[in-house]
Structure formats: structure tokens, C-alpha cells
């Protein structure tokens, strides 16, 4: 039966990939609606012919990679169970040590190494694609360094999370999901607090904004919005990418306003101020806390569903999947598989909420800066720098876009201009 299940799973994966290839490369039409032709939202008005071609190519390949790699992760976890590798890792760990924490660390190390090797081709293709289209500027050695840092940070977090999770499963077999969720609340807040000062600096160098005149303008803007900010940071991203970005990170006393140095080099001050006003809007309208609340609610629902599904699947097909019981750490790939599928299924909802908040932030920023022209130019330059797709297909938008499309963002700004003139 295991062989039949494995071949069925592989066939299903190939069918999904074939469908998404047809959908992205043949069926989806990247052309913008006729009503937007010739407007500021029309990419042909601000991109040359070569940039238009590269944008379409790059976006299509990236979208396809996403929809190919996502179910590939599910397939990986499923095959790990069917082939008995998860059970073998557990037996190996138990034979090496009597300490549960050490057993967990040994099991997770081999599972993490195998997972790293399995997804590495997709990661490398994504890296190479960015290099080919001049989005990535990072050399291979530096990129591999980041990959290794990712591995060890994830490994360290997983030891803590999985050790606690399976301790709860053994101690609270019926309500472990609720206790796990309750513990996830302070843990998530703690990780958000330490992210800017402990984790982010492992990847890049952060330092106070060198342009003090611009920093003064940004802090003035923050003061108008009643945001307690003393410093603006820049990060040296030019050695890794040509894309542009800015963000507000952290919570409490560790919150920071951060600008990529690529943004500082390619945008004018009034365009940067629009971006900063947009980021400040998230603080003013409590989007960070709304995001935390949404995440925690989805996590609660996800853990409840995962607990029920794990119990049902192991009772019915535990022998085929080589899982003796829910509390056995060999069930971890099943936990990760169910969680990954649920996360993917929730993306349209979470992305919809995020796009709504981003639309609100755009509106707030243009009203605060009173410079819709700078806002339009900013989005046009963001499109050019990242070879972004202005009008993505529906499935791509639902599952990948946490921000409104550039077509939506620029056209709304033009509508705002019209409303302002009428007022």
C-alpha cells in the first residue's frame, strides 16, 4: 500500500505542476484592462520594451516556482513518512541517548539536513533566476552563508518548539493544542521583540541613517503621526539586491524604522518620505497588532484542526505511515505536512486582510505627504527595480500578494488626484 500511495502522491504533484504551468504560461493574460491603457498605471508608460519583456518573464517563472515548490514540500513530508525515514531517525536518536531533549535534537538534525537538501534545488534556482535578471547582486558564497545561517537558526528554534510541543502532547494528550497555542503567544511576541537586535544583524549590517537631513524629515513626519521614534536605520542591501524596500520592525522599545540603501540611492527624498509615511500608517492604525491578533487566531484554529487530523490519520493509517502514536516524534512530518497545507489554504484570507491594510496605508501616506505625484513615481520605480508584475493572474494574487497589485495602487492614486481636484 505504501508504494501505491507514494506513486499516487508523485502523480498528483506532477498534475498540480502541469496545471500551474498551463495556467501561468498559457492561460493567464498579463495585459492590463483597456481602461488603464495610457494611464500612469500602464507599465508601457514607464517601462521600456526590454523592461516589459523581462518583467513578464521574471514574474511568470517566479510564480511557477512558488506553485511548484509549495506542494513539493508537502510531498517531501509525505514520502518521509511512507518510506519510514522519520521512524528510522527516531529509532536512531533513541539508540544514541536516553535524554529526550538530545533525542529530539538528533532527530531534528537529520530531518533538517534532509529537508535542506530536498529544497535546495528550488532555492538555488530562485537565487540563479534573480542573478540572471539582475535583481540579485549577491555572490554565491554570501548567498550560501545566509542559507547556512537560516539552517542553524531554524534548527535552534525547532529544538525548543518541538521539545515543548511533544512534551505537551505526552502530558496533555487531549488538550495539547490549546496549551501549545497559549505558549505560542508570549513566544511570538518575544521573537518579534528580539528580531531587530539579535536575528536581523546576522544577515546584514544596520546603522543609523547617514543622511541626517533626510533623517530629520522622517522624524518630523513621525512626530506628526505621534510615533515615538528617535532614529532611522539603513541596511546595506546593495551587496545582495537591486530591489527597493523600507519597513518598520520590532515591537516596544526595539521597534525600528529601516531603509534599504538601494532605496536611498534610487529614490528622491519626497518619494522616500511617502514610503515612510506608508510604514508609519501601519503603526498609527495598529496594523501590527491586528496582524498579531489575526496570526494568533489562525494559529489557534490551525492547531485545533491539526490535532484532530493527526489523531484521525494515525488511528486509521498509522501503520502505513510508520507512526506508532501521536506522541512519537516520528509523527512530526505529519504535523508539518498538515500545518503547511492549512497555512497555504489560509493565504487568500490573510493576504486579503493584508492588502486592505496596505491600501489604507497608501491612502494615509498620500494624505499625510500631500504629494501623490511622488507616490506614483515611487510605485513605478518599485516596479522597475524588482521587475514586478503590474497585473498578476487571480490565483497568483490570492496566494502570493500581501500587497495590492501595482495596477491597483497606482490607479487608486490617480483616482485620489481626481477627487482632490474636484474638492
From first to last of its 423 residues, the chain has per-residue pLDDT tens of 778 889 999 999 999 999 999 999 999 888 888 888 988 889 999 999 999 999 999 999 999 999 999 999 999 999 999 999 999 999 999 998 888 999 999 999 999 999 999 999 999 999 999 999 999 999 999 999 999 999 999 999 999 999 999 999 999 999 999 999 999 888 888 888 888 888 888 888 888 888 888 888 888 888 877 776 666 788 989 889 988 888 877 776 677 788 899 999 899 999 999 998 998 888 888 888 888 888 889 999 999 999 999 999 999 999 999 999 999 999 999 999 999 999 999 999 999 999 999 999 999 999 888 888 899 999 999 999 889 889 999 999 999 999 999 999 999 887 776 555 555
- Element spanning 207, H or E: strand 206-208
pLDDT at position 225, please? 75
Is 153 a member of any domain? Answer: yes
Q: Which domain holds residue 128?
A: 2-203+286-422
Residue 271 resides in a domain: no
> 279 lies in a domain?
no
Specify if 260 maps to a domain: no
| Greatest C-alpha distance within the chain | 77
Whether residue 121 is contained in a domain is answered as yes
User: Does any domain span residue 241?
Assistant: no
Whether the full predicted model's pTM is greater than 0.85, yes or no, is: yes
**Does 287 belong to an annotated binding site?**
no
Tell the burial category of 293 from Cβ atoms under 10 Å away from its Cβ (0-12, 13-18, 19+). Answer: exposed
Domain-located, residue 228: no
Given the C-alpha cell 512530518, which residue does it identify? 333
Positions marked active-site:
279, 362
Number of domains the chain contains: 1
Q: What is the C-alpha separation between 177 and 179, in angstroms, rounded?
A: 6
pLDDT of residue 232: 79
pLDDT at site 366: 92
pLDDT for residue 371: 86
Q: Is 278 annotated as a binding residue?
A: yes
Kindly give the residue spans of alpha helices, DSSP state H, lying in 133-175: 140-171
- Considering the domain boundaries, does residue 133 fall inside one? yes
Q: 179: annotated binding-site residue?
A: no
Amino acid at each position: 500500500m505504501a508504494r501505491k500511495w507514494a506513486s499516487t502522491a508523485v502523480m498528483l504533484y506532477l498534475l498540480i505542476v502541469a496545471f500551474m504551468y498551463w495556467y501561468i504560461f498559457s492561460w493567464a493574460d498579463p495585459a492590463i484592462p483597456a481602461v488603464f491603457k495610457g494611464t500612469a498605471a500602464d507599465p508601457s508608460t514607464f517601462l521600456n520594451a526590454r523592461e516589459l519583456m523581462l518583467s513578464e518573464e521574471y514574474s511568470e517563472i517566479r510564480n511557477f516556482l512558488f506553485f511548484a515548490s509549495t506542494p513539493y514540500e508537502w510531498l517531501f513530508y509525505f514520502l518521509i513518512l511512507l518510506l519510514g525515514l522519520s521512524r528510522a531517525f527516531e529509532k536512531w536518536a533513541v539508540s544514541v541517548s536516553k535524554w529526550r531533549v538530545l533525542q529530539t535534537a538528533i532527530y531534528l538534525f537529520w530531518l533538517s539536513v534532509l529537508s535542506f537538501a530536498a529544497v535546495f534545488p528550488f532555492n538555488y534556482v530562485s537565487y540563479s533566476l534573480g542573478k540572471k535578471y539582475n535583481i540579485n547582486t549577491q555572490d554565491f558564497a554570501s548567498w550560501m552563508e545566509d542559507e547556512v545561517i537560516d539552517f542553524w537558526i531554524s534548527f535552534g528554534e525547532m529544538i525548543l518548539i518541538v521539545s515543548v510541543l511533544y512534551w505537551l502532547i505526552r502530558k496533555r494528550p487531549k488538550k495539547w493544542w490549546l496549551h501549545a497555542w497559549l505558549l505560542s503567544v508570549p513566544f511570538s511576541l518575544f521573537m518579534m521583540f528580539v528580531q531587530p537586535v539579535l536575528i536581523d544583524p546576522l544577515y546584514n549590517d544596520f546603522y543609523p541613517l547617514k543622511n541626517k537631513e533626510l533623517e530629520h524629515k522622517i522624524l518630523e513626519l513621525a512626530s506628526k503621526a505621534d510615533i515615538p521614534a528617535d532614529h532611522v536605520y539603513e541596511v546595506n542591501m546593495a551587496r545582495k539586491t537591486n530591489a527597493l524596500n523600507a519597513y518598520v520592525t520590532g515591537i516596544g522599545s526595539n521597534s525600528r524604522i529601516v531603509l534599504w540603501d538601494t532605496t536611498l540611492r534610487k529614490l528622491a527624498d519626497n518619494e522616500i518620505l511617502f514610503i515612510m509615511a506608508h510604514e508609519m500608517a501601519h503603526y498609527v492604525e495598529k496594523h501590527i497588532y491586528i496582524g498579531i491578533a489575526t496570526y494568533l487566531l489562525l494559529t489557534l484554529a490551525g492547531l485545533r484542526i491539526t490535532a484532530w487530523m493527526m489523531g484521525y490519520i494515525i488511528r486509521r493509517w498509522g501503520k502505513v505511515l510508520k507512526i506508532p502514536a501521536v506522541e512519537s516524534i516520528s509523527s512530526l512530518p505529519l504535523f508539518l505536512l498538515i500545518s503547511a497545507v492549512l497555512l497555504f489554504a489560509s493565504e487568500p484570507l490573510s493576504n486579503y486582510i493584508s492588502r486592505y491594510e496596505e491600501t489604507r496605508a497608501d491612502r494615509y501616506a498620500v494624505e499625510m505627504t500631500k504629494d501623490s505625484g511622488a507616490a506614483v513615481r515611487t510605485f513605478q520605480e518599485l516596479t522597475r527595480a524588482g521587475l514586478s508584475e503590474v497585473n498578476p493572474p487571480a490565483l497568483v494574487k490570492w496566494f502570493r500578494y500581501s500587497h495590492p497589485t501595482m495596477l491597483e495602487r497606482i490607479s487608486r492614486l490617480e483616482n485620489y488626484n481626481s477627487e482632490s481636484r474636484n474638492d
